[in-house]
Structure 1
Amino acid sequence: MLEDKNKSLSDENKILDKSQTDSFFQYLKSQSANKQCADCERHSPVWASTSFGIFLCSDCAAKHRALGVNISKIKSTLLDKWTVGELRRLWVSGNNLANELGDGCDIRMKYTNAEDYKSKIDKLVQESLKKQPGCGFINKENKKPTVVVNKVKKVPVPKFRDCEIQERDCEIPQKVEIKEEKTSVKPNAFVIKKKSTPTVTKNGSTLYTVGDVSSTRLGFGSAPNKE
């Protein structure tokens, strides 16, 4: 029994490879609550308090660091090395439980009076150790879901000339120039024949007789024949 307990503690103090920690943090930060700072709700926090198991932004992490490691121990999720035990505290807590700390603006008062919260996290850690000792919880969460990719048939894109389009869909309005044939109608010609009595004829019919008449009649000195 004692040997198992010592082994369990040894596993908790084991420093993990950076590839393992990066993968695990990627999983933790994919949860909606961990996408924001636990104190100010700023997006994409890159710091964490191992004491409270919460994620923090740079500004809030600096405030926690000012409290001292005896109250809140701060580590970078990008640069620092992490032990199994430290990751376990973040796993059982995270920002999901941070609302139990209250919404106080005074960081010092908020976290110096949070011993009950720390005790709750300690209890959750012990329960996790019994269920999943060692790196079991890390390996479980790091398993990537199997993605089944269906085979996609490659179909060439048909060219325009290969498409079978109905005639009604292909009707393209065109500008059509319509030429109107204008039939020129020749005006009726007046033929003046020189006879004994000058006359004006139209199509063989004598219409006017040219004579010496007043210029006020018909405009050119001709008189119509009365038939």
Structure 2
Amino acid sequence: MEEENTHFSIKDWSLSDRPREKLLHKGSSSLSEAELIAILIGSGTRKMSAVELSRIIIKDAQNSLVVLGKKSLKDLMTYKGIGEAKAITIAAAMELGKRRAMEMPIELPKIKSSEDAFKIMQPVIGELPHEEFWVMLLDNSHKVLEKRNISIGGITGTLVDARVVFKKAIEAGAVAMVLAHNHPSGNLKPSTQDKALTLKLMEAGKLLDIKVLDHLIITQQGFYSFADQGLL
């Protein structure tokens, strides 16, 4: 869909509807998601400002940036006033946000609970349409040395080679690890294969003095912890 030739530019908006000025004077945290998106698209249509258009877009995405980030360029371009260039800008911003969440902080995070592990791994695998198996490698203070992808599978499963898992752990000098994989279906219940793999890796870890502290099953909305459930 082509963008209209005439739009309300920012200079035409009322002072209360100018997100750039609001960001300048009050900081980015003072803006709503719709106002931030409005800055990205720059202009609306003859009938509505960029902020009004952005409010419709975010509302249609269930007021969720996660849902908005999953929309295709074609989906975004169904809105009058959103052409290819603006759709690409929104998609690029969503991807930058996702990548920022995935980056490890300079200060090594310390795993004190299953919730800590979930917060690190959910942005990495929680929204994937296929299964992936990852391992977080920890030092003796349970600080994360590395997080490594071990295998990529299909919608219903992935194969994991224990030798690869412990090879990565030894290379990193890890003394403990947290296992994690996602369930694209949203089902948090561990399968028989999940339980068998966990036991296999625990036993292998005992021989190498590398402790398996937990195994998380992660979905977009939540997680299941083997340790919290007393299965380790």
Question: Whose helix proportion is higher, 1 or 2?
Answer: 2
> Is TM-score (shorter-chain normalized) higher than 0.5?
no
Superposition TM-score, scaled by structure 1 size: 0.20
